[in-house]
Amino acid sequence: MTHISEIKVNKNLPVLTSLRFFAAALIVHHHTADFFKFGQDFAHKYLLGQGVTFFFVLSGFILTYNYGHLSGLRNSLSFFWARVAKVWPAHVFMLLVFLFLWGPVLKTGYAPTPGEITTNLLLVQAWNPDPYVYYAFNSVSWTLSVEMFFYLLFPLLIVNFSRNWHWKVYFAVTLALLAIYLGGTMSAEDFNGQEYGGVVFWAYVWPPTYLLVFVLGMVAGQALTKYRAVLSESTASGAFGVVAIAIMLLGSVVMPNAGPVLQGWGLPISPTANNWIAMNGAAPFYAVGLLLIACSNGLVTKALSVRPMVVLGEISFAMYLTHQVAVRVMNPAWLEALPPAGQAAIYWLFVVAFSYLVWRFVERPCQRLLRRLDPFRSRPKQETAKAQEQIG
């Protein structure tokens, strides 16, 4: 059996790396607009948190395209090791930064228990319905807990995926319906920061609720493997980039309002279902958009593939992990002499610069070290290891 270290990794798609930056930027603005009083109308009008859904679709898309032939226990363990190496170092670093700032520096009196720290370190916090657990420390890290769920299931999901993908879509739909059902039967309430097992948990945090989003990305990744040559050589491929962006924006704008529309038609849409549709309803649009833009050779693709854009995409994960800690540390008095736009600009410059340093001196070196230490890998090839480092 061919070991995972010997599997040829598909050519990296720089345009997809660049798109990660825009998704991360929307999430950053979502979390900071009210703090800086800048761009609030935009942040309140559109559901920018859908950037999380985009990341999950993209994850399924890229992993399927690059690991579509993954099989065997040893390969699966090596795959999981590589994925942990991708996300864990930056997460641990920012957890330590958080504990240092909230402890010795700011002296907030915050005293987390060893159990709370362990839960966060192991990235299992999204399974706990208590918001003080799943939003603890660097609160955005709950999404990494969801990713770990995907990584564990991926070796099972990818088996014969080209032939049985529809059954896996049905299974993922079942889990989404289960989450909606549980939210309804438990009379889950909208988020107020303290509710236990509320709408936010079942529709937005609980890992199984996102499996459909991930699997739709896998379906698009499988389609890319099968149809990329045909689509790329199509006379319309130059326009695919524009069409892809339009489709993804359409889904992002329309689907958050789909729940109330369905209610207006007389359908019994529960609060949990409404929140699930608002957050995840655009996933099919993202999947189609990713497929098209990956097959495009037009101006949009070329613009997004230039090196500066790709670098921004590469630091987007660090930016995602650093931005909320940074804004929570800031004292409003530091920048009060500047207008809101100036305050936001200073903050963004700091976050981008700090994220680059985290990516350059924490994320990448630790990934290389952990991959070299992979106990399930045989005769690792340098060129394959280098290619794997670029996989999103």
Express each pLDDT in 203-253 by its tens digit.
889 999 999 999 999 999 999 999 888 888 888 888 899 999 999 999 999
- The letter for the amino acid at 261 is V
24 in helix, strand or coil? helix
0.75 cut: is pTM over it?
A: yes
Which residues touch 149 (CB under 8 Å, ≥6 apart)? 126, 207, 208, 210, 211
Closest CA to 142 of 55, 63, 243, 252: 55
- CB-side neighbour CA atoms (13 Å) of 272: 23
Express each pLDDT in 59-69 by its tens digit.
999 999 999 99
Average pLDDT rounded to a whole number, residues 273-297: 93
What is residue 382's predicted lDDT score, i.e. its pLDDT? 46
Higher pLDDT, 304 or 104: 304
What is residue 270's predicted lDDT score, i.e. its pLDDT? 83
| CB 281, CB 255: distance < 8 Å | yes
